Structure 1
Amino acid sequence: MSEQVSHSDDAASSRAGSLGARWLGAGLAALLAIATLVLAATGQLILYISPETVWFAVAAAIVTLIGVVWSCALPLGAEQDHGHDHGAAPAAHDDHGHGHARAPRRSARRVVGIALAATGGVIATAVAAGALLLPPAALSVDMAMQRAPVGNVLFAGADSVALGANTDTSTFGVGGWASVFATGARPEKYDGTTVTLTGFLTPDGSATDQAHLTRMVITHCVIDAQPASVPVQISGWKGQYAVGDWVQVKGTVRTSADGKLSVVPATVSKISQPKDPYEH
Structure 2
Amino acid sequence: MRDLWGSAATRWLGVGLASVLAVVTLGLAATGRLALYINPDQSWFAIGMAVLALVGAVASFALPLGAEDDHGHDHGHDHGAARGEEPDEGRGRPVVPRAAASSLSRAATWAGGLAASAVAVGAIVLPPAPLSVELAMARDTGTAPLFAGADDVLLAAADTSTFGVGDWASVFSTATNPDTFEGAHVTLTGFVTPDETDDATMRLGRLVITHCVIDAQPASLPVTSPGWQDDLETGAWVEVDGVVTTNASGALVVEPREITPIPAPDDPYEY
Alignment TM-score, normalising by the size of structure 2: 0.87
Shift of 1:263: 0.8
**Contact 2:149/2:166 (CA < 8 Å) preserved in 1?**
no
**Residue identity (%):** 50
Letter in 2 for 1:73: A
> 2:9 and 2:212 mapped to 1: Cα distance?
31
Q: How does 1:32-181 map to 2 (within 5 A)?
A: 32-82=21-71, 86=74, 105-149=97-141, 152=142, 154-157=144-147, 160=150, 162=152, 163-181=154-172
Shift of 1:165: 4.9
What RMSD in Å do the two structures reach over aligned CA positions?
A: 2.5
Question: Which structure has the bigger radius of gyration?
Answer: 1
How many residue pairs match? The answer is 259
Distance 1:166 1:159, change over 3 A: closer
2:230 equivalent in structure 1: 239
> 1:179 and 1:206 mapped to 2: Cα distance?
20
Alignment TM-score, normalising by the size of structure 1: 0.85
Range moving further from structure 2, 226-235 or 156-165: 156-165
Shift of 1:268: 0.8
> 1:231 and 1:265 mapped to 2: Cα distance?
10
Deviations along 1:193-243, one digit per CA (max 9) or x if unpaired, are: 211001111111152221110111111111221111110012211221111
| Structure 1 unaligned regions, length at least 5 | 1-11, 96-103
Distance 1:167 1:63, change over 3 A: closer
Letter in 2 for 1:68: A
Distance 1:74 1:166, change over 3 A: closer
Letter in 2 for 1:115: A
1:208 is paired with a residue of what secondary structure? coil
1:136 is paired with a residue of what secondary structure? coil
> 2:189 and 2:148 mapped to 1: Cα distance?
21
Shift of 1:34: 0.6
| Structure 2 unaligned regions, length at least 5 | 88-95
